[in-house]
Amino acid sequence: MKKKIEGILGIIVAGLGLLGFTIFESRSLEGIIKDIASNNNQTQQEYIADENELYAYRAESGDLKNMVQEYTKAIEREPENSDLYILRGNIYSHFGQYEKAIEDYSKAIDLSQNMEDIYVIYYNRGYAYDSKGEYDKAIEDFTKAIDINPEYIKAYNNRGFSYRSIRSWTVKSF
């Protein structure tokens, strides 16, 4: 079990690094939470970066399940906060609870129609659909992410994998 958690943590930290988030090992859990709670003037990217740092910290300590409960309570207090649905959806996705992740990403999309980075939510939901074997829905979401941000390479990559999974392509003879 310890190796599995360490493997998951490695994936999470690597993924966060690819997304441009930095994990500061010197920050304490209390410091991370204090920054999130006290910084109402943060940009959305700064807020999510702090949340992802908290997420990585908790993953290292094996405390992700409690985070679902915390996000659920936070959603009860702030039901219009799309970031909370995104972050809880990420946890559900990491635990393989793709249906719950899809529900949270869908709610976040409904709440975030004017959000600049909405393509990432479509990408995350597409990933969850792909993981469930719902490749047509995954392709639809990856395509939506590409339509919003044509430079988002990960969406092209995963859309290709979804197409491959359903063998939905034509081979031309030369």
pTM: 0.65
At residue 71, the pLDDT reads 86
Inter-residue contact 93 to 124 (CB < 8 Å): yes
Picking from 126, 122, 144, the residue whose alpha carbon sits closest to that of residue 135 is 126
CB contact set of 72 (below 8 Å; sequence gap of 6+):
88
pLDDT at residue 69, rounded to an integer: 85
> Distances from the Cα of 127 to the Cαs of 75, 90, 137, 142, 143, in angstroms?
23, 11, 10, 8, 12
How confident is the prediction along the chain (174 residues), in pLDDT tens digits per residue? 444 444 444 444 444 444 444 333 444 545 555 555 555 555 555 656 666 666 666 666 666 677 888 889 889 999 999 988 998 998 899 889 999 999 999 999 999 877 788 999 999 999 999 999 999 999 999 999 999 999 999 999 999 999 989 875 555 555
Q: How far apart are CA 87 and CA 48, in angstroms?
A: 8
Question: Alpha-carbon distance 118 to 120, whole Å?
Answer: 5
At residue 60, the pLDDT reads 64
